Structure 1
Amino acid sequence: MAELQLRGVNKNFGAVPVIRNVDLDIGDGEFVVFVGPSGCGKSTLLRTISGLEEPTSGQVFIGGEDVTDFDPSERGVAMVFQSYALYPHMTVEQNLGFGLRMGGMPREQVATRVAEAARILEIGELMGRKPRQLSGGQRQRVAIGRAIVREPKAFLFDEPLSNLDAELRVQMRIEIAKLHQQLGATMVYVTHDQVEAMTLADRIVVLRAGIVEQQGSPIELYDNPDNMFVAGFIGSPRMNFVPAEIVNANGRDAEVRFNEFGAPTIRVATRGDQTRPGQPVSVGIRPEHFVEAADAPARLTARSQVVEQLGGVSYVYAASESGTQVTVQQRGHSAMATGAMVEFGLDPRTCLLFDADGKRV
């Protein structure tokens, strides 16, 4: 296995910049997930690591070696795509070993590697089947197996679960996590699904418009986002942002008054002394951080609009009189009536502040 480094990587398509001055270090055996909305450049960045895209400027290192000018086949990485790209006329066993056979590997060595990949992925009983006889999840296992047999320095996954239904996505997510534990391999994984990112990654890299907005462990990004984009992207349902104003501040925390929802006042921890009285801010509140109104030091008053009962949890979608929306998660079944004025309790310790530019304060 090997570590990966990107140094000053830029990628333009014509006059359009897609990747902008990315510097990144990925440790040996680390599982790193690139996440962001469609068009943010995450797949292009992955393809630049693989050699399928040539950077406009910058360097790519794999295992300490500058591979910027290497062909994909010379980089020692294996890529798993969203489409399975299996040969329909070949059996699973033949699909797994095809690349090795074309590379001139001895038949016995090919058979050993194919058998080991089948054991790891638990697809031994599928070896005689052809792709049309497999489910979507089984096909994706075979596609991953084709990467495993190459014994690459790093695995690159480009939204590999996007073609699967919800239940299979969860199952395959678990399988990929187990695979990483078994192999201890360096893995880079691209997805637009922040749930996949949170559950799989050792470290998440959040991209927007080709720029790395923030990187860190899943919990670090969840608890301490640097800006509203990261705060809103990490977490499901997304964080609520409520307009407010600084009443007073001392460099450690700030007294904040909401502009709506009954105008409650709370004291919120800040990152420094960049806040001032009268400053407009947004208070970030995750849906799961609301508490019982009776036990709370402050409350938001809103009108419930829709209540989703999901069994273990419920989601209440509510709005202020001026129309600002909030999503509130409640445990179990919610008794709130649609259209009623209700109160939601706030825990100031879980609230975050963002300035008018969306930066954390």
Structure 2
Amino acid sequence: MAELKLRGINKSFGAVPVLHSIDLDIEDGAFVVFVGPSGCGKSTLLRTISGLEEPSAGQVLIGGEDVTDFDPAERGVAMVFQSYALYPHMTVEQNLGFGLRMGGMKRDQVAIRVAEAARILELDELLDRKPRQLSGGQRQRVAIGRAIVRQPKAFLFDEPLSNLDAELRVQMRIEIAKLHQELGATMVYVTHDQVEAMTLADKIVVLRAGRIEQQGTPIDLYDNPDNIFVAGFIGSPRMNFLAATVTAVDDLTATLQPVDFDGNPIEVRVRGNSAKVGDAVTLGIRPEHFVDAGGTMLTATAQVVEQLGGVSYVYATGRNGAKITIQQKGHSAIPAGAEVSVGLDPAACLAFDAQGLRL
């Protein structure tokens, strides 16, 4: 196992810059998830760590050693791709051990490593099957097993669950989390799915346009986003953003008046004297932070109500097409077209300036 360090990583494809001055420390044994929208550079960054892409500038260090100029096979990492890439004519056992055999490892050593990987991934009963006889989840477990037998310094996952249906994705998330607990290995995982990021990661790195927007624990990013992009990307359903005007400022609070919804002003904690009376700002509140009653009420018109059993989501609108999503426990009694009055929890509200930065 080993720590990973990236120093000043830049990457361009021709005249098009893709990564911009990436500095990142990944501790030994950590599970770090790169997350962001399509085209943000997360897979390119992972491939730069693996050696499949050469950085235009910067250094990649694994276990304290500069491996920037090393070939992928020399870096001591193993990569699991979205595509299973299994040999269709080989059994599971043969697929697991193929890379080791090609590397010249003795048969008895290969057998030991394959047996251990099969035990960890619960593939013991499937060793004689060929890929066509396996489900999608079983094939992905074999692909992960091929990485395990190499006993790498770090595991790199490039959207490994994208080909699976929703139920299998949940199962495989649990299995990957259990795998990390058992191996204690350094793992770097790329996904566009923020639910995967929240459930798997020790640390999330949010990328946008080739730059790190914010990094931290899942709960830290959820509760304390630095900007509107991170606030909207982390969390499902996404955070509500309401246009508002600053009507008063105290040492650590700003009083905001929503613009597109009827309601009382709300006091929101801010980071120092970063807001001024009259400023146009954005008020952020997550769907679960609306309350049935409170000192600050907001009025909207329900458009659609989703009844999901344990929770319900009310999609409502105010003036100028402004939209909010309200989460309620259990079954909602609100019919479509009804006026909705909900309270806001001031402690859970955030404020962002005109540039989208947290106040």
TM-score range, shorter chain: over 0.9
Aligned to 1:269: 269
Name whichever of 97-106 and 249-258 sits farther off.
Answer: 249-258
Measured after TM superposition, the shift of residue 255 of structure 1 is 1.0
Partner Cα separation in structure 2 for residue 39 and residue 224 of structure 1: 25
Superposition map of 1:102-141 within 5 A: 102-141=102-141
Q: Percent identity?
A: 75
Aligned to 1:285: 285
Q: Which amino acid aligns with 1:326?
A: I
Q: Which amino acid aligns with 2:96?
A: L
Partner Cα separation in structure 1 for residue 9 and residue 320 of structure 2: 45
**Runs of at least 4 residues off by over 2 Å:** none
- Identify which of 339, 342, 351 aligns with 1:341: 339
Aligned to 1:299: 297
Aligned to 1:319: 317
Aligned length: 359
Aligned to 1:227: 227
Q: Report the TM-score, using the length of structure 2 for normalisation.
A: 0.99
Partner Cα separation in structure 2 for residue 343 and residue 190 of structure 1: 40
Aligned to 1:360: 358
Q: Which amino acid aligns with 1:179?
A: L
Match of 2:320, SS state, is: coil
Conserved? CA contact 1:251–1:275, under 8 Å: no
Q: Deviations over 1:208-253 (max 9, x none)?
A: 0000000000000000000000000000000000000111112311
Match of 1:207, SS state, is: strand
Conserved? CA contact 1:231–1:239, under 8 Å: yes
Conserved? CA contact 1:81–1:160, under 8 Å: yes
Aligned to 1:91: 91
Q: Which runs of 5+ in 1 are unaligned?
A: none
Partner Cα separation in structure 1 for residue 263 and residue 209 of structure 2: 36
Measured after TM superposition, the shift of residue 260 of structure 1 is 2.1
Name whichever of 156-165 and 271-280 sits farther off.
Answer: 271-280
Q: Which amino acid aligns with 1:251?
A: D
Aligned to 1:330: 328
Conserved? CA contact 2:36–2:206, under 8 Å: yes
Measured after TM superposition, the shift of residue 342 of structure 1 is 1.2
Partner Cα separation in structure 2 for residue 272 and residue 223 of structure 1: 18
Conserved? CA contact 1:251–1:274, under 8 Å: no
Q: Which runs of 5+ in 2 are unaligned?
A: none
Conserved? CA contact 2:263–2:297, under 8 Å: no
Measured after TM superposition, the shift of residue 272 of structure 1 is 1.4
Conserved? CA contact 2:287–2:327, under 8 Å: yes
Aligned to 1:237: 237
Q: Deviations over 1:282-331 (max 9, x none)?
A: 000100111113xx111111000000000000000000032100001000
Q: Report the TM-score, using the length of structure 1 for normalisation.
A: 0.99
Q: Which amino acid aligns with 1:142?
A: V
